[in-house]
């Protein structure tokens, strides 16, 4: 689904690369979390995938084709929900369809209503985003991301600003969505427990410049409950990931 082939990138004006000959791939339907130190370049990977930035060398493929020239191949959800306060919740959700300009107003409205139903916000369609709780806003932002119609979703720490209990509910909710929709998700988090709970595989960025990502399989299938986090394999994996990240601190 997503493939980096020997990608090298440095920000203009920086005389060292942030990633050097980086290669990795994500298969269709996977839920992969990316963990690594602050500033190691995780969000930069997303900016490269959605073409806000261009690699200095190497290529990025989605569905086997170079992303240059492709459109609407990924949906991106940032840490803050970035809902527009002057638009209703439904108007926010239908924004990607307006930008694509392919559907009539009636069709856009129907699609947005379906998406709001999917995320349990039908009753809130005509409210302003300011009237929603933090978790509801993130659900609306997720619905908007899904409205891009892309099978590849890039989620950049989407729950980090939420309180702990809301975060737990949102993780459960996101897994349900993923199991229903079968999208491919690449999810950035600083929270090792979140990574182990959500993903089938964790990618660890262990160095700067990033020359490779270590890939660690999560030893549990789906549906995934919080009880599974108490299984020895899951506890061991969590400790192993913390150790790997700590080693880089030392
Ligand atoms: N526009 C820019 N120009 C120059 N340097 C930048 C720019 N954006 C980011 N950087 C630098 O690139 C490095 C990687 O940034 P990036 O946001 O990808 O890291 P990250 O791993 O996502 O960090 P965090 O976990 O804190 O969000 C950082 O050192 C950052 O200061």
* From 14, 44, 207, mutation site for ligand 1 pocket: most ligand atoms within 8 A of C-beta: 44
DSSP E strands in the chain: the ranges are 2-9, 19-26, 31-36, 57-62, 65-66, 74-77, 152-156, 184-188, 201-205, 213-217
Which residues does the chain have with pLDDT short of 70?
248-250
pLDDT at 248: 60
Displacement of CA 4 from its chain's centroid (Å): 16
Q: What count of Cα atoms within 13 Å lies in the side-chain half-sphere of residue 178?
A: 25
Q: Is the CB of 40 under 6 A from ligand 1?
A: yes
- List the chain domain ranges: 1-73+152-170+190-250, 80-149
Cβ atoms 28, 184 nearer than 8 A: yes
- The answer to ipTM > 0.85 is yes
Ligand 1 atom closest to Cα of residue 157: 27
pLDDT for the residue numbered 134? 83
- Cβ of 15 below 6 Å from ligand 1: no
1-73+152-170+190-250 to CATH, choices 3.40.605.10, 3.40.50.2000, 3.30.428.10, 3.40.50.300: 3.40.50.300
Interaxial angle between packed helices 105-118 and 134-146, expressed in degrees from 0 to 180 and rounded to the nearest 10: 130
Residue 16 has what pLDDT? 86
Q: Which residue's CA lies nearest to atom 4 of ligand 1?
A: 11
Q: Considering only CA atoms, which residue is closest to atom 26 of ligand 1?
A: 38
Quote the ligand 1 centre to 68 CA distance (angstroms): 23
Q: Which residues pair with 221 in a beta bridge?
A: none
Ligand 1 midpoint to CA 147 (Å): 28
Residues 134-150: tens digit of each pLDDT: 888 888 988 888 888 88
CA 160 to chain centroid, in Å, comes to 12
Can you give the pTM of this predicted structure? 0.88
């Amino acid at each position: 689904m997503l493939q980096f082939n020997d990608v090298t990138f440095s920000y203009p004006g920086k005389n060292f690369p942030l990633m050097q000959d980086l290669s990795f791939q994500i298969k269709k339907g996977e839920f992969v979390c990316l963990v690594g130190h602050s500033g190691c370049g995780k969000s930069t990977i997303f900016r490269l995938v959605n073409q806000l930035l261009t690699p200095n060398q190497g290529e990025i493929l989605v569905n086997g084709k170079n992303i240059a020239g492709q459109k609407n191949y990924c949906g991106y959800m940032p840490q803050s929900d970035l809902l527009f306060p002057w638009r209703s919740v439904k108007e926010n959700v239908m924004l990607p369809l307006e930008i694509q300009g392919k559907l009539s107003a009636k069709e856009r409205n129907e699609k947005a209503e379906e998406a709001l139903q999917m995320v349990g916000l039908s009753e809130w369609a005509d409210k302003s985003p300011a009237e929603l709780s933090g978790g509801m806003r993130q659900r609306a932002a997720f619905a908007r991301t899904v409205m891009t119609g892309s099978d590849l979703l890039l989620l950049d720490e989407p729950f980090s600003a939420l309180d702990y209990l809301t975060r737990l509910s949102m993780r459960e909710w996101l897994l349900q969505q993923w199991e229903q929709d079968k999208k491919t998700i690449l999810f950035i988090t600083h929270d090792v427990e979140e990574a182990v709970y959500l993903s089938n595989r964790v990618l660890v960025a262990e160095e700067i410049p990033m020359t490779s990502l270590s890939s660690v399989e999560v030893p549990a299938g789906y549906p995934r409950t919080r009880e599974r986090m108490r299984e020895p394999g899951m506890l061991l994996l969590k400790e192993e990931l913390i150790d790997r990240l700590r080693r880089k601190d030392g």
